[in-house]
Amino acid sequence: MSVSEMFAALQGALGQDQDIREEIRKVVQALEQTAREILTLLQGVHQGPGFQHIPKKCQKAREHFGTVRTQMESLKTKFPADQYYRFHEHWRFVLQRLVFLAAFVVYLESETLVTREAVAEILGIEADRERGFHLDIEDYLSGVLTLASELARLAVNSVTAGDYARPLRISTFINELDSGFRLLNLKNDSLRKRYDGLKYDVKKIEEVVYDLSIRGLSKEATVGTGGEK
């Protein structure tokens, strides 16, 4: 094979790779749009009246995740199944955002932490790497850390809305989350930096709880709910 023939073959391979990336980019853009729609919907819970409509907002968000599953099915067809990590950077950010949104919905519904397997089911992908297009553990953890920041904000806005019991429950949840992350040996630089931000979320929520305590509102909230949710 001559040099010109070699480079012609390389150009063909490059062109094919660029075509794949362009097809992936189109689907990722659609996923990003759906993620924005879900986020816009859920942001309503931070407003006073929004607390009264949490179940409806979660139900509507679940409907949007139906669109996400369809888009994920399309994404899976755009590249060779054995080259997940070759193209992973294209959808990594939006996948982490979708993990956060799924985790936020589940928290609003049950005040529990969604499992990686449950998130994968919500998104219509696999939890196990061996089964194909899957939810990488680090992407799951990144989404959960974003949830922590969102809950810190929710704790503040709950007080504004007159819901004094919710910040106490959020505080308990975030402290359990922090304890869980302390068990992990995080070596990924990006994820480690994200985790370092968790301590600020913990501190922010602790300040909210402390403020409620000195104002006598935390005791009132506990009595008002019978010590339960």
What is the pLDDT at residue 75?
96
Residue 228 lies in a domain: no
Distances (CA, A) of 28 to 34, 77, 87, 92: 10, 13, 12, 10
117 is in an annotated binding site: no
Query: At 68, which CATH number?
Result: 1.20.58.190
- Classify burial at 83, counting beta carbons within 10 Å of its beta carbon; exposed 0-12, middle 13-18, buried 19 or more: exposed
Residue 229 lies in a domain: no
What is the pLDDT at residue 29?
97
- Classify burial at 92, counting beta carbons within 10 Å of its beta carbon; exposed 0-12, middle 13-18, buried 19 or more: middle
Based on the fold, state whether residues 168 and 194 are members of the same structural domain.
yes
Residue 226 lies in a domain: no
Based on the fold, state whether residues 85 and 176 are members of the same structural domain.
no
What is the pLDDT at residue 92?
96
Taking only the tens of pLDDT, the chain with its 229 residues reads 777 778 677 766 667 778 899 999 999 999 999 999 999 999 999 886 767 789 999 999 999 999 999 999 999 999 988 889 999 999 999 999 999 999 999 999 999 999 999 999 999 999 998 888 999 999 999 999 999 999 999 999 999 888 899 999 999 999 999 999 999 988 767 888 889 889 999 999 999 999 998 888 766 555 445 444 4
Boundary of a domain, candidates 135, 169, 200? 135
For residue 79, the 8-state DSSP code is S
* Element housing 109 (H / E): helix 84-110
**What is the number of structural domains in the chain?**
2
Based on the fold, state whether residues 98 and 29 are members of the same structural domain.
yes
Range of the domain at 159: 137-221
Query: At 210, which CATH number?
Result: 1.20.58.200
Instruction: Please state, as a whole number, how many other Cβ atoms lie within 10 Å of the Cβ of residue 44.
Output: 15
The distance from CA 113 to its chain's CA centroid, rounded to whole angstroms, is 11
Based on the fold, state whether residues 76 and 179 are members of the same structural domain.
no
Q: Provide the sign of the torsion angle of the four alpha carbons 171, 177, 69, 29, taken in this order.
A: positive
Angle at 34 between CA 33 and CA 38, to 5 degrees: 120
Based on the fold, state whether residues 112 and 143 are members of the same structural domain.
no
CB 144 within 8 A of CB 113: yes
Based on the fold, state whether residues 14 and 116 are members of the same structural domain.
yes
